Amino acid sequence: MTIVLSEVEARVLGCLIEKEITTPEYYPLSLNALMHACNQKSNRDPMMSLDEDAVRQALRALNDQMLARSASGDSRVAKYEHRLADIFNFTRPEAAIICELLLRGPQTPGELRSRAERMHPFEDLSVVQSTLKHLMEREPPLVKLLPRQTGNKEARYTHLLSGDVEVREPAPEKEAVAYKPAGQNERVAQLETEIAGLQNEIADLKRQFAEFRKQFE
């Protein structure tokens, strides 16, 4: 099954994963609790301001993709849970990494280790990198390494649950001699025309002067 999550669906799924791990006593989540989790000011990028209708619509889409469902229970309030254990059977480190990527977008291994600490303590960066490697080697892959951006020391990783990420190659740098400000070409052409005209006038004056001198020889 091909999974392609919208930005809101990714946020809702990430919140369900996060709250199951960090606040299990309040999980599964009611619609209201899930909405507030999606709109948190911390541990979220980008910031969102979703209403209940947007969250409800995302839950329906996740249910259609078998990634979330209504939770059975004695509560009179409808509650919701994710189904990643049924679909992917993630280890706790894998779930923490995927959760952070869903909630905050592309990140470096160092950022993932620090931010996922509340869900799973990674001993060192090598454990984060090995976890990322396992996610990249799944069939189909769930994580992708992005090219290192100019000015950044580390490359970032992104999840693929919203589809493949198109990476644009940076534009080739132009040589300094090839750069000319706008309008410079026209100005140069005008000057060349004026110089050619002056050269013709000088040549004509020289010819006239030579003819004038012959009159007195």
Q: Which long-range contacts (CB under 8 A, 24 or more apart) does 101-105 make?
A: 101/143, 101/157, 101/158, 101/159, 102/10, 102/11, 102/13, 102/14, 102/17, 102/159, 102/161, 103/11, 103/14, 103/15, 103/18, 103/43, 103/44, 103/45, 104/43, 104/44, 104/45, 105/45, 105/46, 105/158
Percentage of the chain beyond pLDDT 70 is: 78
pLDDT (0 to 100) of residue 180: 46
At 31-53, the pLDDT tens digits run 999 999 999 999 999 999 999 99
15 in the same domain as 44: yes
The string of pLDDT tens digits covering residues 104-145 is 999 999 999 999 999 999 999 999 999 999 999 999 999 999
Looking at the fold, whether 94 and 123 belong to one and the same domain comes out as: yes
Is 169 a residue whose pLDDT tops 60? no
pLDDT of the residue at 76? 85
Residues 154 and 191 reside in one and the same domain: no
pLDDT higher than 50, residue 73:
yes
For residue 168, tell me if it sits in a domain: no
37 and 104 co-located in one domain: yes
Q: Are residues 209 and 130 in the same domain?
A: no
Average pLDDT over residues 142-158: 91
CATH code: domain of residue 45: 1.10.10.10
For residues 123 and 55, state if they share a domain.
yes
Residue 80 lies in a domain: yes
Kindly state whether residue 108 falls inside one of the protein's structural domains.
yes
Cα-Cα end-to-end distance for the chain? 104
Residue scoring higher pLDDT (117 or 211): 117
Residue 125 sits in the same domain as residue 205: no
Please tell me whether residues 94 and 67 are part of one structural domain.
yes
Q: Has residue 114 been placed in a domain?
A: yes
Please choose, from the candidates 103, 215, 108, the residue with its C-alpha nearest in 3D space to the C-alpha of residue 153: 108
* pTM greater than the 0.85 cutoff: no
Task: Read off the amino acid at residue 112.
Answer: L
> Do residues 139 and 184 share a domain?
no
Mean pLDDT of the chain: 87
- What's the total number of domains in the chain? 2
Residue 121 belongs to domain spanning: 7-159
User: Rounded to whole angstroms, how far apart are CA atoms 67 and 86?
Assistant: 9
Task: State the average pLDDT over residues 63-81.
Answer: 91
pLDDT at 176: 39
Give me the pLDDT at residue 152, please: 81
**Residue 105 falls inside a structural domain:** yes
- Same domain flag for 13 and 83: yes
Q: Is position 165 within any domain?
A: no
**85 shares its domain with 138:** yes
Residues 180 and 78 in one domain: no
Q: Is residue 171 part of a domain?
A: no
> Which of 32-36, 69-73, 166-170 is most confident?
32-36
